[in-house]
Each structure stands twice: as structure tokens, then as C-alpha cells.
Structure 1
């Protein structure tokens, strides 16, 4: 069952930890042989269609299916702002259909599909790199004090990660304020949900930061750049290709963010340090 949008005083969209169907209580034994009971996250298939063509089946926790479908297609370069005429979700069939007024170039993209190292929706099309040609992100300044505030706020927000683990989170932020917090079993899914929200709301990416719990791989960097977001921050580490692409497009790339400790491997000249 899809979750309702959950809001708080700090977020436009926040994890809805009480939503039905996102977790399940399971019993087992611990290392001492004692009976234990714990919450585990659900995962279920969601098949995404673009008009009449099946594009991909993603394993997902099941919340925000329309946003996931819209964001996935947008991040693959298969859906552009203004093209979508409707989106339909059939929860019983586990299907989302995104509709456009006319046919797109998805046939050629499907012919170049490759598998990446990512989990869940770890699928990227070979010409995603083409979307980076000539792309230069705005040289938005990033205040280090804002990063500290974001890490503290996000890490203490009630979430499925804190309740059950085995899940990734991605948060759209502006300055010290987290705005939209999405979770899923795959880090790519969580990013795509944020992209879907931005597409639906017409959000301006220029002043935004994307915070993720996942690794800073090439695909994560590409998705952030194609969304037009100039800064990407993670608790986790980097891949060399991710760093190379970030430097190519002028993305501020910050990893290993723990409390007030981090490493910036791209765009360090745009950091504003506390005086």
C-alpha cells in the first residue's frame, strides 16, 4: 500500500514511519538463542511504463510510486519537463504508467541499456553521459555551517532507517533546511523519488543540495548533475569516476560526512568556512 505524504514543521515531505505496508514484524533468534522480534522493511516490484512500453521493474518499498516513476524516467533522459500528460498507478498490479502526448526516443535508449554496480534500480542507459555534454552547474556557495546543521537534523529525523535499517535515504535541502526526505531499498530509487517531486513541483535546483546515505558513484553524480543540483553530500565514500565527473561539471562533492567531519573532493573552492 502506498504511503501518504508525511509532513512536519521541518520538512515538506518526510518519512512516514507509521504508514501501513512499509515494514513487517518478524521473529527470530539472537546470538544467545533468545527469541527476538524486529521490524524489517518490505520490498515489492513496481513496473514502470512509458506510454505503452514497459521500461523497467524496480524493487521498492512501495511509497510514492508515481514520483519514483517520474523521477526515474526524467533521470534517464526519457521524460522532460512539460512532456508528461498524466500518470496512473495500479497498486494491485504494481504498475505505474507515465503518459506523454507523443512518442519519445526511448526505443533507442532501451537498445543501449547496461547494468551498473548499484542496487535495486541499478540500471543506467549508455547515453546518460551525453546529457552532461556542455553542462556546467551554477557555482553556488556551500556554507560549511549549513552542512553541520543538515547532518544533525537529518540523522535525528524519525525514519525507516532508524526503525528497521536496510534502507537508503536521500534528502533535498536548501541552505541549512532539509526539505524533502525520501527512503527506499536502493539509493537510486530514493534519488529518483526526489527528482519526481522536483519535476512535479517545478522546483528550482540552483540553490539546492542533495544529501544521500549512499555511495558517491558515477551514476549518483550523473543523476544529481542532470537534476541541476550543484552540491551532493553523503555519509559514505567516493568512486574515482564519480569524482572525475563531478569535477567535469562543477559539482561540489562531499563525502564521509560524520558530524562535523567530511572530505570534499570536488568544488572545494565553493565552500564557505565559519569565521
Structure 2
């Protein structure tokens, strides 16, 4: 059953498994030491069938596997999951269901997406969107500004080492689940897996991403049933088109006092004066830029 006060998960940049210290030189030839993101393969099985091998930072493998299968339409909301087994020695997750599955033909048809670290979508990318219309929801601009301030200054792997994307599940002005990975599609799938395990309510949620608002991000958000997607980055035309088709509120370029809404503006309630909001801290921007 849905929970009204779900647990919170935030980044753990201090986790030694997620980064490695590397020595090099800078532009002047001086020695420099940097933390860099670890990257490792994770192979996902559904029952007896190998589905995909994804490159990931290695945290929350069970959530990643469940969310990937859920967002690919291979795992249904009403499926009974009888087991999720992660073997760290061989970097493999096996998801078992009571329902007999067989996706050999679907797995043969792949679409390489525009996501960083090259995401993969099996079958028809638009499958499941026909007739989909996201539920009514309320989005206050005060929530957007509050979320941007909290998320952009929260300790994270991005601020520590860069080369990584983050996705945050939010409720009103409160971040709930903050996942990071080398590809934003992986970060979204981890959130989808967390939500699946808890039958979490979706119609009152906001999804925030540090990456571009592409067709893949819009489709994943829509299929998860979340009515609002926001980012500090920009849009792609197809992403906007799909958002308008399914009634997704799409907020981009959310930085400091500014944002742009290109879909679903009817949900937006302007309850905060932008000029009264603090501008984005230049020190934060420089720190983030130096880690990309």
C-alpha cells in the first residue's frame, strides 16, 4: 500500500566504493589528485532470461534492476516478485516473478537513446503512452525554488567528483529519494524500483533531474505516473512534444530565480515572487563546473 511518509535516501559521497582517487597533472604540469567515479557492469536477468548489461556506479542494484524492468514494461504493477537476488561477485541481479515471462522478441529490438552512458530502450519507445493522460496535480513555484536550492547544494557525488547525473523524487518542496549514476536513465530506474517495492503514490510527486529533458526522460516519467518533471537543464523538441501529448508539466532551466515551462502550465500556481528568491550561488556553479 502507498505510504504517506516514505523513507529518505540521499547521496553518500563518502562511500569509498563509489569513487577512486587518481593522480595526474593539471594545465600547468603540476601534480593533482582527483576523486573519479567508479563504473562497473551490472547484468539483469528476469527469471531465466538475460535482459541487459548496464554500466552503473554499483549502488542500489536491486532497485536499478526492478526499475529498469518496470520502465521497459517487462515488470507489471500487479506482478508478484518472488525474489530479487544480487550476486556482487559476478555483478548480476536476478528478478524472479510468479508470472512466467518471455521477452525474447522484445529484447531483439533495441533503441539507443540520447542519455549519457547510452541508455537502451527495448521495443517501441512509445509503447504504453497511447491514451495515457497524467492526473491533475498542483505545482507551486515556491516548491520549485525550494527544491532547486536544496538539491543543488546537497552533498553529492556530482559535487565531489562530477561525471555523474542525479534524479530526485520529491513531494511538494521536500526531496525524498536522491539517486545518482553515470547515466540519468539509471538514476530514474533506481527511483522507479524503489517506488515499485513500496507501491508508492505517484500523482503527488515531482521528478527532478540534473540532465536534459529528452524524450527518454519524459517517457520514463510519464510511464511512472508522475505528473511533473523539472530540470536545471534544457529541452529537446521531441521531449516537449511527448510531454504535451500525455499532459506532463515540463519545467526546464530551473536556476536561481528563473525557469521555463513548455508543457502543462495549467498546473503551475505562482505563489512566490521570483525577484525575492536568491540567485544561484556563483561559488556553487564554479565548483560544479570544475567537476564535470
TM-score normalized by the length of structure 1: 0.94
> What are the within-5 Å matches in structure 2 for residues 132-147 of structure 1?
132-147=129-144
Q: Secondary structure at the match of 1:232?
A: strand
Instruction: Note the residue ranges of structure 1 that are not aligned, 5 or more in a row.
Output: 1-9
RMSD between superposed Cα atoms in Å? 1.4
Aligned residue number for residue 72 of structure 2: 76
Aligned residue number for residue 106 of structure 2: 109
| Preserved contact between residue 167 and residue 187 of structure 2 (Cα < 8 Å) | yes
Q: 1:157 aligns with which of 121, 137, 154?
A: 154
> What are the within-5 Å matches in structure 2 for residues 33-182 of structure 1?
33-83=29-79, 84-120=81-117, 122-182=119-179
Structure 1 stretch displaced more, 60-69 or 117-126: 117-126
| Preserved contact between residue 62 and residue 93 of structure 2 (Cα < 8 Å) | yes
Deviation at 1:103? 2.1
CA distance in 2, matches of 1:80, 1:198: 13
Deviation at 1:109? 1.5
CA distance in 1, matches of 2:183, 2:131: 29
Deviation at 1:11? 6.9
| Preserved contact between residue 49 and residue 102 of structure 2 (Cα < 8 Å) | no
Aligned residue number for residue 7 of structure 1: none
- 1:183 and 2:180 matched: yes
Deviation at 1:111? 2.8
| Preserved contact between residue 120 and residue 189 of structure 1 (Cα < 8 Å) | no
Deviations 1:80-127 (A, max 9, x none): 123221100000100000111132242231132222222335101232
Aligned residue number for residue 263 of structure 1: 260
Aligned residue number for residue 5 of structure 1: none
Deviation at 1:73? 0.4
| Preserved contact between residue 117 and residue 183 of structure 2 (Cα < 8 Å) | yes
CA distance in 2, matches of 1:63, 1:38: 21
TM-score normalized by the length of structure 2: 0.88
Return closer, same or farther for 1:105/1:243 CA change in 2, 3 Å cut-off. farther
Runs of 4+ aligned residues of structure 1 deviating over 3 Å after TM superposition are none
| Preserved contact between residue 107 and residue 123 of structure 2 (Cα < 8 Å) | no
Q: Secondary structure at the match of 1:93?
A: coil
User: How many residues are treated as equivalent by the alignment?
Assistant: 266
CA distance in 1, matches of 2:251, 2:105: 34
| Preserved contact between residue 46 and residue 60 of structure 1 (Cα < 8 Å) | yes
CA distance in 1, matches of 2:122, 2:255: 32
Q: Secondary structure at the match of 1:69?
A: helix
Deviation at 1:161? 0.4
Structure 1 stretch displaced more, 102-111 or 160-169: 102-111
| Preserved contact between residue 235 and residue 256 of structure 1 (Cα < 8 Å) | yes
| Preserved contact between residue 121 and residue 189 of structure 1 (Cα < 8 Å) | no
CA distance in 2, matches of 1:108, 1:121: 21
